């Protein structure tokens, strides 16, 4: 297993923050990323459809002989994770559980959660947090504009700062001590969010918490790569590789040389 790759899928491009975190923690692992760009967004689809698409994405990665699958998409993690874990013979890790776990562990006061409108409406993080700590106080807020701002590349932009202020200052006033970034796009704006709400509120980046979890799953099974060489990762999308390349640069801070179309899934 050691030489096999780590598979990651997302409905689109946001999962690249999870990719980044895994790559940083485990630079010798080969990563295969699949973004289902033809069928995004998942957040506005029914749970049956999300499960069906997620299974198809997992099958694509299985054909590449991955040793573990990371569901780097909040909607898919929320609906399809138990199903995938039941059907597949390799480990499957989602982004919600590790984030919720870290929030519960670190919070002494109220926990703030931000995400897309669909994620917040699904109450996925709230449920995961309350399962772990039934008396936790969770304050949720959808921040729909942040995804568009990230994809536009307006990271250090006055507009983005104003939008973050409008969304997050009311959360700060409610005295949260933890803020869960419940959307894979948001870690790109981590510094900007921290500047607005202050360093005393700790941010939970689900990319980071997920990468910790992946590391521990692989380590426990002795499946970590034994190679000393850095291998080239692979990127696949179900449509629009050019857009993925362009917007991908905002996430990766480097050029993506090659993005393939995975025709069998679209």
Q: Is 151 in the site for its own copies (CB under 8 A)?
A: yes
Residue 214's alpha-carbon distances to 102, 141, 181, 207, in angstroms, are 14, 28, 19, 10
DSSP 218-251: HHHTT-S----SPPPPEEEESS-HHHHHHHHHHH
Beta bridge partners of 180: 113, 204
Q: Which residues contact 48 (CB under 8 A, 6 or more apart)?
A: none
Q: Is 260 in the site for its own copies (CB under 8 A)?
A: no
Using CB atoms within 10 Å of the CB of residue 46, give its burial: 0 to 12 exposed, 13 to 18 middle, 19+ buried.
exposed
Candidates 40, 129, 171, 204: give the one binding its own copies (CB under 8 A): 40
Q: Give CA–CA dist 190/204, Å, rounded.
A: 10
Q: Is 38 in the site for its own copies (CB under 8 A)?
A: yes
Question: Which region among 55-63, 78-86, 130-138, 150-158 touches its own copies (by CB under 8 A)?
Answer: 150-158
Nearer to its own copies, 11 or 74 (CB): 11
For residue 244, whether the previous peptide bond is cis, meaning omega lies within 30 degrees of 0, is no
Q: Which of 73, 93, 149, 193 is catalytic?
A: 73
Q: Which of 16, 138, 183, 197 is catalytic?
A: 183
Q: Is 88 in the site for its own copies (CB under 8 A)?
A: no
Q: Is 163 in the site for its own copies (CB under 8 A)?
A: yes
Q: Is 149 in the site for its own copies (CB under 8 A)?
A: yes
Q: Give CA–CA dist 78/54, Å, rounded.
A: 11
Q: Is 152 in the site for its own copies (CB under 8 A)?
A: yes
Q: Catalytic: 183?
A: yes
Question: Where do contacts with its own copies occur on this chain (CB under 8 A)?
Answer: 37-38, 40, 44-46, 117, 144-145, 148-149, 151-152, 158-159, 162-163, 166, 239-240, 243
Q: Give catalytic residues, as residue numbers.
A: 73, 183
């Amino acid at each position: 297993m050691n030489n096999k790759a780590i598979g990651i899928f997302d409905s689109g491009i946001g999962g690249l923050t999870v990719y980044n975190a895994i790559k940083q923690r485990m630079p010798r692992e080969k990563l295969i990323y699949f973004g289902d760009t033809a069928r995004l967004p998942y957040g506005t689809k029914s749970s049956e459809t999300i499960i069906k698409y997620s299974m198809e994405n997992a099958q694509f990665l299985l054909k590449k002989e991955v040793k573990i699958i990371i569901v780097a998409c909040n909607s898919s993690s929320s609906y399809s994770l138990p199903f995938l874990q039941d059907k597949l013979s390799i480990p499957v890790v989602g982004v919600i559980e590790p984030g919720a776990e870290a929030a519960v562990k670190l919070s002494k006061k109220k926990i703030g959660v931000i995400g897309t409108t669909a994620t917040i409406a699904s109450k996925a993080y709230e449920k995961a947090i309350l399962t772990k700590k039934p008396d936790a106080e969770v304050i949720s807020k959808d921040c729909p504009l942040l995804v568009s701002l990230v994809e536009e590349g307006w990271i250090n932009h006055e507009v983005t700062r104003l939008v973050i202020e409008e969304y997050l200052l009311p959360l700060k006033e409610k005295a949260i001590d933890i803020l869960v970034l419940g959307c894979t796009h948001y870690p790109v704006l981590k510094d900007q969010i921290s500047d607005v709400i202050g360093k005393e509120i700790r941010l939970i980046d689900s990319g980071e918490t997920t990468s910790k979890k992946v590391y521990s799953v692989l380590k426990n099974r002795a499946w970590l790569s034994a190679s000393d060489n850095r291998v080239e990762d692979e990127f696949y999308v179900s449509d629009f590789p050019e857009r993925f390349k362009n917007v991908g640069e905002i996430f990766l801070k480097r050029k993506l040389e090659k993005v393939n179309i995975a025709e069998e899934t679209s």
